Structure 1
Amino acid sequence: DSTWSEFQPPANCSDRSIARSRGRDEYHRLPLSSSHRSSQLKNCYLPNLRKEVSHWTRPATPSLSLYSARLASKRTTCSVATEPPPSTTEEPEMDLPKEIFLKEYKKPDYLFDSVNLEFQLGEDKTIVTSKIAVSPGTEGTSSPLTLHGRDLKLLSIKVNGKDLKSEDYMVDSRHLTVSRPPGGTFNLEIVTEIYPQLNTSLEGLYKSTGNFCTQCEAEGFRKITYFQDRPDVMATYTCRIEADKTLYPVLLSNGNLIEQGDLEGGKHYALWEDPFKKPSYLFALVAGQLDCREDSFTTCSGRKVTLRIWTPGQDLAKTAHAMYSLKAAMKWDEEVFGLEYDLDLFNIVVVPDFNMGAMENKSLNIFQSRLVLASPETATDGDYAAILGVVGHEYFHNWTGNRVTCRDWFQLTLKEGLTVFRDQEFSSDLGCRTVKRIADVSKLRTYQFPQDAGPMAHPIRPHSYIKMDNFYTGEFMKRVLKLLECTRPCLELQGFERAWIFTSKGTTGKL
């Protein structure tokens, strides 16, 4: 056999100089130990293998051939010959995500009535203190309180002002569990340490172009503090932010600005309050060096709302069209759906490398710059139309998604589909309905039809998921939109809108 002739052992197998010079190449080309042709080679090389195996290493680049894979198996066998194999093999612990099923949904055992957050922003670390008013979801429940948490350092945990003993709670890589919570309502205080500068997942609180920024949808809030990070846990929020005044002169969060002032050591603070209940995925915080374009809007009831678009100073002139789009959306929502804005302030923040495109956080929308900034010198008509639609979309979420939210993430398509329907109607009314319709159908045929015909097709409400972020697709957004378009001709136009007004205002703060 010519294949094996070159593998014939040297005349004197104990000659270490020959074994050293040829050992590496020959060792890599040995047949598998199970082969009958390997017995002669084994007998000759085995004494030297035990001595020389420490000098041999695997190739720098992995081989892709089946033959090389068999040789790799042989190398493993030879190296093990120096010592007996372990009696048992321990599998490495893997922090695998859990598959979530729609059929397994159950209401939370505990509800959160109010949440008070305090942030001490620093260059190396950030300290987050959360004070939560907890009440039982069902009367007399004695279940453990399980909170979600990722990449957090727990500093302290208190119940009704008293530190918990280590045996009263348990922490793992994904949860904090209070074993025996008090009966009835109680106060929970948790202090955590996080590292936004090292957060490359762009979920939770992270650093972006020198500014602090958050992204909490769908499950990012659990990277800020331990919490029941699910959309059916709704609470009112207050947020106090402390930071260096020179580095972070602008401190923003949800709701209305209640108080601000200077602190010792060159720091300052801002206190924000959102009086309307919301789920944790709508929390937002921004801190940094930003300038703003300011305007105002008077609602149908006569309230004056301050509007601000925050952006790096050099881009301020490019925000005029976005401000026009915001005011037009507020006016249109009042006239068509009878839905009035409910706070005294509305902020939009432009983040150049924001990872979600745009996010509808209550009263503090965060946008990627291409969806806000436009100038006649560089923007096309399509750019202007896209900004109009996206600014409108995120504002319309104030009612369809924020004030009236989802029970769980399986209903994602409901809030997104309804809001896409509203922003499509908005763009059609302010532009040309026929042109808008043709463009929407063209996108439908280009993107959704191939997806429906391929292996990535899925229902608008999935039966299970592992990571919810994978469902933020065009198909998910558009399908309910098409169902609504099929339903609308069955009703008179005004009856359709009246039904929405009744549904929205009758279910605020509910699922």
Structure 2
Amino acid sequence: MADVRATPEVLTPPEAPPSPTHVATRREDYRPPDWLVPEISLDFDLDPQRTRVRASLEIVRNGDHDRPLRLDGDELTLISARVDGREVEPGLDGKQLVLDLPGSRAMVETEVEIAPAANTKLMGLYASGGILCTQCEAEGFRRITFFPDRPDVLSRYRVRMEADKDRFPILLSNGNNIAAGEEGDGRHWAQWEDPFPKPSYLFALVAGDLKANSDSFTTMSGRKVALNIWVREADLPKTAHAMESLKLAMAWDEKVYGREYDLDLFNIVAVADFNMGAMENKGLNIFNSAYVLADQETATDADFDNISRVVAHEYFHNWSGDRITCRDWFQLSLKEGFTVFRDQSFSADIGSAPVKRIDDVRVLRAAQFPEDAGPLAHAVRPDSYIEISNFYTATVYNKGAELIRMMATVLGAEKFRAGTDLYFDRHDGEAATCDDFVKALEDGSGVDLSAFKIWYSQAGTPKVSARLQHDPQTRAATLHLEQRVDPTPGQPDKAPMPIPLRTALIGEDSCAEIAAEQLVLLEKAQATIEFANVAEPPLLSINRGFSAPIVLTVDRRPGELERLAQCDTDPFSRYEALQELMMCALVASATGAAADLEPVTRAVGATLRSDALDAAFKAEAILLPSEPLIADRLDVVDPDAVHESREALRRAIGNELRDDLASAYGTSGAPGHDLSPAAKGVRRLRNVALALIAAGDERVGATLAHRQFMAADNMTDRQAALGTLVSLDAPERDQALAAFYDRFHDDPLVLDKWFALQAAAQRRETVDEVQRLAHHPDFRIGNPNRLRALAGTFGYNHWAFHSPDGRGYRFLTDMILDADKLNPQVAARLIPPFGRWRRFEPKRGELMRESLERIVGARGLSKDVYEQASKSLA
């Protein structure tokens, strides 16, 4: 193949022409397919430069109409088309092949030619490191053959592949391998059949020189399922954790949801070039290698956790996505929101549930809340799109998962299970909708959930204010709640939303629950809740466990947050109290007001010294809010002020608590091979403490970090040490970067870390360094992982990206325009850091706006990037 990664230079974009126009697809225009395809046979003559695809489609008219058959295609060379054995001359309407069929059934055969090696978009059939593989979600199948490429056309697939045996000894597709043989002249073939009807986006094919880590799993009904993880032979030792994660996920889905795997074979393939994290194709999951390959030498604890999460996520899709799929792409959260909720629950069960919840909420606040608050705001079930790939967003995935969580909270575990059982039984083998899912939960539980459907259609994050009044004479406490949702693009007027708030009162003196937790359902704009027999001053513990995805403002008395940070009985709320205490000081400092840092340092010290808290929780609790989260609290954002406020608090903690931090850093009991939650927690706390020590004293921090870097027996400690050093002006910084590169430059996934760490460095020189790294011989703009490591990481480096001279904006703009020429889907995901330009101080805001205008005006811009950039300008 033509290796798209071999493009280190940053290209100069051409002169800007008039902006392109692209037609939006609207949910209200949905119409069932005119034609169905119950059966399809595919015959591939595989070659990286020129692959022939012969397709035989059994076509059935759907309903009483006379509309022609329309088959989607993209970058296909049509060789021939036949209807019932007769060659025909089809019409072309744009990229669609159009056939007038007189009867109600027909056999349509096409032959096309495609060029996998030239497919830099990595959609359809493409080449990656000597492997041929596919990615068809959302609309990649049309880049393989002509087909009604929509999720509500479900077909049974029979696939035959033929290829050079030396180059491609392994030939895989969905379902079961039913035949194989030799063709002579060094070629061989394999035939696969999938017994379950599926949409075209779940089709998969892999051909390559691969070796398998093979194992098995016995299902609850006693069937033995063969499991294979296919990788390059050299990577086999790094697949053990992924295999163990797969078996854990299979057992968990049986126990928690009663879902048993339905084939006798389950394959996973790891590839180096992949737009997403992984893909749930029926029986043949294709993964970005970053979510398969791991050992202690090359992967961090976070990498191990992400592999477990993603392996589980794609496996869980077998039922919530494969057996039941989406009617149309507007229903994407039907499978993704539900499956994210399932993988979050799985991760909580096999690790630390409180820490997992903290991590989930941190991701939501970092990625989804800004979407809701910016020009790219959209509902969990959007109303329109120009390019469907742009709606693989935190709103659809993570907010969609929070919506499922809210309904599960209201129902309780037993009723939620009854509802999901009914959903799986009722819609098995169908293309369903979000409404179908809610209806199944209602019918299975007997609980009316119709009020929650507004979460699917109304964009924006609800803002809830809470005020607690206490009368010591009557021992009565009254909770006053108000909610509002700010206007979002296309939705200026908002209705109240149902918001389940797990709520308790904590005694300020006793540190005990003086009003047991109850579920308060806020359904109107305002509500009042009464508590009786409240004898001592109460502390309000609300939205416990983050029971609703809201922005919460509580009217607090002085000292209340500090006290809750010490004694709230809900782990998440205890974490939240300390974070909010920090945030109050950070916002005050960033806006030029006097900031009292002493309550923060006292609370952090108490957390570090607590014997009741485990190391993992301590690490998350004392980690300061990020600069983008601080900026979200400001009316006008000055990145320099935000950065200095955070650095000042880090310095204060590092100086005031040097002994406590040194004690935490000295904690033992976490050898690199130990992946238990306790050991990972110790490593996490040690490394958070190291960064704070360095904030208080750069010289001490540099010495400790370099010593840790040199002695580390695992990537978690090694990367954390380097992550501390990259932001310091110390000679150890360059020494460690050089040593890391020398040791790992032949490992692509570890080298991604090297690029990302430098792109995340908190230094003014970071802009210069990312520009230099963009010309590094190992930078490959065509590889999504490498592009995300450098440009993606830099875009979220709040201080460096927002360099006042605009160089950060120009760099990312150049990267977006260059990447768009190769892979529009990945390029479009680099746009969001520009999106909230209106909230920044005028000079930076204007520079960001100019960058967006430059993107929108670029010649030949893809609809992926155009949609994101034009909406960001609106």
Deviation for aligned residue 1:439 = 1.1
Distance 1:98 1:196 in 2: 28
* Aligned match for 1:146, one of 70, 92, 110: 70
Q: Report the residue type matching 2:286 in the other structure.
A: I
Give the structure 1 partner of residue 767 of structure 2.
none
Cα–Cα, structure 1 residues 210 and 63, in superposed 2: closer, same or farther, change >3 Å? closer
Q: Is the contact made by 2:151 and 2:327 (CA closer than 8 Å) also made in structure 1?
A: yes
Aligned 8 A contact 2:210 2:231 in 1: yes
1:369 maps to 2:289: yes
Match of 2:223 in 1: 303
Give, as a single letter, the amino acid of the residue that structure 1 aligns with 2:42.
Answer: L
CA distance 1:436–1:127, shift in 2 (3 Å): same
Superposition deviation, residue 197 in structure 1: 1.4
Aligned match of 2:28: 103
C-alpha deviation, 1:372, in angstroms: 0.8
Q: 1:95 to 1:201 in 2, by over 3 A?
A: farther
Query: Structure 1 CA distance, aligned partners of 2:140 and 2:374?
Result: 30
What do residues 265-309 of structure 1 show as CA deviations (whole Å, max 9, x unaligned)?
110001000010100000011101111100000111111100000
Match of 1:170 among 60, 67, 91: 91
Structure 1 pair 390/457, CA: closer, same or farther in 2 (3 Å)? same
- Corresponding position of 1:203: 123
Is it true that 1:284 corresponds to 2:208 in the alignment?
Answer: no
How far 1:97 sits from its partner (Å)? 4.5
Q: Is the 8 A contact 2:216 2:226 kept in 1?
A: yes
- For the 8 Å contact 1:254–1:273, the answer to whether it is kept is yes
Tell me what 1:113 maps to: 38
Q: After alignment, is 229-238 or 198-207 more displaced?
A: 198-207
Aligned to 1:398: 318
Separation (CA, whole Å) in 2 of partners of 1:124 and 1:454: 43
Counterpart secondary structure, 1:263 = strand
Tell me how far 1:382 sits from its aligned partner: 1.3
Structure-1 separation of matches of 2:181 and 2:242: 30
Cα pair distance change 1:96/1:345, threshold 3 Å? farther
Q: Is 2:408 aligned against 1:488?
A: yes
What's the CA shift for 1:195? 1.1
- For the residues of structure 2 that align with 1:267 and 1:96, how far apart are their CA atoms? 47
Q: For 2:13 and 2:176, locate their aligned partners in 1 and report how far apart those are by CA, in whole Å.
A: 59
Deviation at 1:95, TM superposition (A): 9.4
User: TM-score, structure 2 length as denominator?
Assistant: 0.47
- 8 Å CA contact 1:205, 1:213 repeated in 2: yes
Give the 3 Å change call, closer, same or farther, for CA 410–381 of structure 1 in structure 2.
same
Residue 135 of structure 1 aligns with which residue?
Answer: 60
**Residue 452 of structure 1 aligns with which residue?**
372
Unaligned runs of at least 5 residues, structure 1: 1-60, 70-90
**Equivalent runs, 1:40-51 vs 2, <5 Å:** none
Residue 500 in 1 paired to residue 420 in 2? yes
Q: Aligned in 2, Cα 1:492/1:254: closer, same or farther, shift over 3 Å?
A: same
Change (3 A) 1:455 1:439: same
Q: Which moved more, 1:207-216 or 1:481-490?
A: 481-490
User: Per the alignment, in what secondary structure is the counterpart of residue 228 of structure 2?
Assistant: strand
After TM superposition, give the deviation of residue 497 of structure 1 in Å.
1.4
Q: 1:123 to 1:488 in 2, by over 3 A?
A: closer
Q: TM-score if structure 1 supplies the norm length? A: 0.79
Taking the aligned partners of 1:62 and 1:316, their CA distance within structure 2 comes to 42
In 1, the alpha carbon distance for the partners of 2:14 and 2:265 equals 61
Q: Would the aligned equivalents of 1:151 and 1:173 in 2 still touch at CA under 8 Å?
A: no
Amino acid at match of 1:373: L
Structure 1 segment 55-454 matched on structure 2, within 5 A: 97-138=22-63, 140-164=64-88, 166=89, 169-178=90-99, 180-454=100-374
Alpha-carbon distance change, 97 to 270 in structure 1, aligned in 2, over 3 angstroms: farther
Q: Which amino acid aligns with 1:101?
A: R
C-alpha contact 2:211 2:231 (8 A) present in aligned 1 = yes
- Structure 1 residue 412: Cα displacement: 0.8
Partner of 1:9 in structure 2? none
Question: 1:306, 1:227 → 2: CA distance?
Answer: 32
The 1:197/1:173 distance shift into structure 2, 3 A limit, reads farther
Which runs of no fewer than 5 residues in structure 2 stay unpaired?
1-11, 432-874
Richer in strand (by share): 1
Amino acid at match of 2:46: L
Distance 2:237 2:373 in 1: 45
Letter in 1 for 2:45: Q
1:314 shift after superposition: 0.8
Paired residue type of 2:55: S
Distance 2:157 2:262 in 1: 15
Q: 2:52, 2:113 within 8 Å by CA — same for their partners in 1?
A: yes
Aligned length: 420
| Structure-2 change in CA distance of 1:381 and 1:62 (3 Å) | closer
Partner amino acid, structure 2, of 1:146: R
C-alpha distance after superposition, 1:329-386 (max 9, x if no partner): 0111111101110101000000012222211111111111111111022222211111
In structure 2, the residue matched to 1:74 is none
**For 1:392 and 1:380, how far apart are their aligned partners in 2?**
18
Amino acid at match of 2:35: Y
| Deviation digits for residues 450-508 of structure 1 (CA, Å, limit 9, x no counterpart) | 22212121111111111101111222201121112211122231221122122112211
Q: Are 1:142 and 1:183, in contact at CA under 8 Å, matched by a contact in 2? A: no
